[in-house]
A and B are shown apart, each in its own frame.
Chain A
Amino acid sequence: MPHDQLEAIQLEGIKKTVINCYENVPFYHDLFDQAGFDPYAVETLDDIRKAPFTTKQDLRDNYPFGFFAVPKNEVREIHMSSGTTGVATVAGYTDHDLDIWGDCFARGIWYADGGSDDVAQICYGYGLFTGGLGAHYGCEKAGCMTIPISAGNTERQIRVLREMGSTILCCTPSYAMYIADTALAMGLDPKKDFHLRAGIHGAEAFSDNFRADLEQKLGYKVLDVYGLTETMGPGVAIECMEQNGLHLAEDHFYAEIINPETGEVLPDGEWGELVLTTIDREATPVVRYRTRDITRIIPGECACGRTHRRIDRLHGRTDDMLIIRGVNVFPSQIEDVMKTFPQVASWYQIELTRKNHLDVVTLKAEVNPDFDFDQISSIERLQRDIQSAMKTALSVGIKVKLVEPKTIARSEGKAKRVIDLRGDDK
């Protein structure tokens, strides 16, 4: 579908969503009134920018049913996500909501040219967590023979993978790796003994290296799936076989990328916080929900030809974000740059201090043994190269200092990446 037709659908849906929220969810009635947002005056997609944001805290404050826009007898299912603070948020689903959920997740299987000839093994946990049932509805919708095995009991997973000839694996990426490693340890060759074609893995971030490793071990293609309970569950966006960004289900969700500090909407291509508005959810619609996930809209069309825009693979959470001299910096951006310098890669740390009220950033990196450091000039060149790569990637000047081995504190085999000492201004 051409993108302008899609935008027409989005606009119609958003108009209904904001009115529905205003008329049926007291929280939104008050929120819109306080913000001076008129839900009846939305004429263009840009008008949604006038609406206030919804946060996870708002959902918590209205536990359990405060966000329901339909009577409870129309709700078929609920899911809950618990935050670290313990208070849960609740999402409700009508028959229609369950139907679009299945449709959104099924796209991953369709992207992999899957369907009724496939055997889908779902080892996400079933329950209040949206992973299990979301994948289940999607696999059923796509016509797969669906195995609701749920998580755990890895040896049984491996037996089922062999005996049922599962072709599609739905689980977290780390569990897929665990299955692969267990199978290898049992003396199996998953590439021959299993029949996997594709894995739809989400709920955790994973690196490109991790993906390559997993694909090599299991002999299949790994597609990243994104979603969150607050707007539905897995299926909000899924990668196609190009593996170059996740196609948003734009017919059901309207996405914006904002500067998490100012709330300003950012142009395509810029990294920021993903904000979602549901287009046709009935039970628990949300307006401008702040996901706290960091991504960007990938500009341009995907090589697969689909017109739904893509978000990039997640770059962490706004909770991890640093603000340095007013610029938002995500630790994962620093990680990306450091990966390109094998001379130092593994152990480094960012130290933030403040001098004369100005932020000073020092990146300390341990020199690797195979780096030829015999000349001062090679050390200085490396320092300069890292500094300029950081400046390009982050738009912030930082000082790089190479340090001796084991000078960066480790805890449980991991370096603490950021030390913020800006509280003690000198």
Chain B
Amino acid sequence: MIMQLTVFLENSEGRLADLCRTLANANVNMSALTIAETSEYGLVRIICDNVFHAVDVLEEAGFRATKTKVLAVELPDRPGALAEMLEALDSTKVNIEYGYCFQSNGDTAIDVLKINPADRDAAEKAISGAGFKLLHWDDIVS
């Protein structure tokens, strides 16, 4: 399990740039950034180092930021890896709230999954049971 940084943004011009600048000035290093959006809002989800510090810095700068617990799974870089992992989860009836993938280095990808807290244990069991590696904080940011 790792900590993700989530930031609530109104879709107003320049806010995303402000956000990234604020994190850069605070020496926060990002590994991944995705945006979920509607016509009015954006939720920016970030994998980075020093999440606790990042939340404080952002709140101080007037952003609404929070920490979210998510699962991170290392996937071998080959066709079908993601499908296998999701099928393993599917058999447990675990509910995935959202997910996204990013590349960490040459030969592996990382899949981030937000699982309902009540289902988290079951999900972790199913994933490692299917032979996939669950990552911890230190594995990602180094």
- Which A residues are closer than 8 A to B by beta carbons? 366-367, 369, 372-376, 379-380, 401-407
Contact = CB atoms under 8 A, between A and B. Distances in A.
Contacts of B68: 374
Contacts of A376: 36-38, 41, 43
B16 interface: no
A404 B98 contact: no
B64 A369 contact: yes
B48 to A, nearest CB: 16
A407 to B, nearest CB: 8
Interface of B: 6, 8-10, 15, 36-38, 40-41, 43, 45, 59, 62-64, 66, 68, 97-98, 114
Contacts of B63: 404-405
A142 B41 CA distance: 62
B38 A375 contact: no
Contact of A405 (B37, B40, B64): B64
B43 A404 contact: no
A373 B98 contact: no
Identify the interface centre among B40, B41, B98: most chain A CB within 10 Å of its CB: B41
A373 B8 contact: yes
A375 B97 contact: yes
Contacts of B9: 404
Nearest to A376: B36
Identify the interface centre among A374, A376, A379: most chain B CB within 10 Å of its CB: A374
A149 B125 CA distance: 74
Given A372-B66, A406-B62, A401 B114 contact: no
Contacts of B62: 404-406
Nearest to B6: A374
Given A372-B66, A374-B43, A379-B41, A404 B8 contact: yes
Contacts of A380: 38
A197 B38 CA distance: 56
Given A402-B41, A405-B64, A373 B6 contact: yes
A188 B9 CA distance: 48
B91 to A, nearest CB: 24
Contacts of B10: 403-404, 407
Contacts of A374: 6, 43, 45, 66, 68, 114
Contacts of A372: 66
A401 B11 CA distance: 12
7 contacts: A373-B64, A374-B6, A402-B8, A404-B8, A405-B59, A405-B64, A407-B10
Nearest to A380: B38
